Amino acid sequence: MKSREKFFGLPEEAFAFTVPRKGLITKTEIRVLSLMKLDLRSGQILWDIGAGSGSVGIEAARLVPDLKVVAVEKDPADYECLLKNIETFGLSERITPIFGKAPEALVGSPAPDRVFIGGSGGRMTNLLDYCQEKGNRPGIVANFATIENLAEALEWAKKQKITPDLVHLQVGRGVPIVGLMRIEAQNPVMILSLFPGEGSP
């Protein structure tokens, strides 16, 4: 499965994920920038909501000593991939997988210091409210493919007086074509970071 061992920025091929729904795994470049935005610390608790294959939580646990991850996924096929990847990377003591739909599935979980939202299931405002209510003033990083979901999160941030940090990332990868190389565009992703305390004046 893994072509070569890397410490950080693992290729998508390093993970088991559902096919043909390849868009549901966080691409390497997006994952790296999202982890940078999370600004994780040793000993923290990270909620990975809409974990999919678990690539973000797994990279986070490999990168940050003593980080604990709670990974929630509602799709049965994706959840099976999540379990397989946790086992493959030997992280069963650091990552707690939960099958279910957030936020209900998170009831009883330890309060997060950071939250990553890879998928909201159309419940973005509910998720953000729950994370803020149950967390240790958590920093939240969310990935968006659609403008509508992003707009909902931005409206929430405005009401909470949290200044958003937004990055639009368009990645192109080189692919061979008749002995030459061209650039193949990946789907654009918007990365939104919301950290309490970084509010509007």
Q: What is the pLDDT of residues 66-75, one digit of tens each?
A: 999 999 999 9
pLDDT at 186: 87
Whether 22 is in a domain gets the answer: yes
Q: Is residue 3 part of a domain?
A: no
| Token reading at 142 | 């969310």
Residue in the structure block whose two tokens are 């953000």: 128
Query: Nearest CA to 1 among 50, 53, 72, 52?
Result: 53
pLDDT of residue 26: 87
Answer yes or no: is pLDDT of 198 > 80: no
Determine, yes or no, domain membership for 5: no
Amino acid found at 93: E
pLDDT confidence bin for 18, thresholds 50/70/90: confident
> How far is the C-alpha of 126 from the C-alpha of 105, rounded, in Å?
13
Number of domains in the chain: 1
CB 72 within 8 A of CB 50: yes
The whole-number pLDDT of residue 118 equals 92
Beta bridge partners of 68: 45
Residue 200 in any domain: the answer is no
The answer to whether the CB of 100 falls within 8 A of the CB of 72 is: yes
Mean pLDDT within 103-113: 96
Mean pLDDT check: name the lowest of 5-14, 77-86, 121-130.
5-14
Residue 72 lies inside a defined structural domain of this protein: yes
**In terms of residue numbers, what domain contains 56?**
12-194
Would you say residue 143 lies in a domain?
Answer: yes
pLDDT beyond 70 at 172: yes
Cα separation, 131 vs 28, in Å, equals 25
Mean pLDDT of 1-29: 76
**CATH at 19:** 3.40.50.150
| 6 located within any domain | no
Higher-pLDDT residue of 52 and 5 is 52
Residue 199 covered by a domain: no
Mean pLDDT, the chain, as a whole number?
Answer: 91
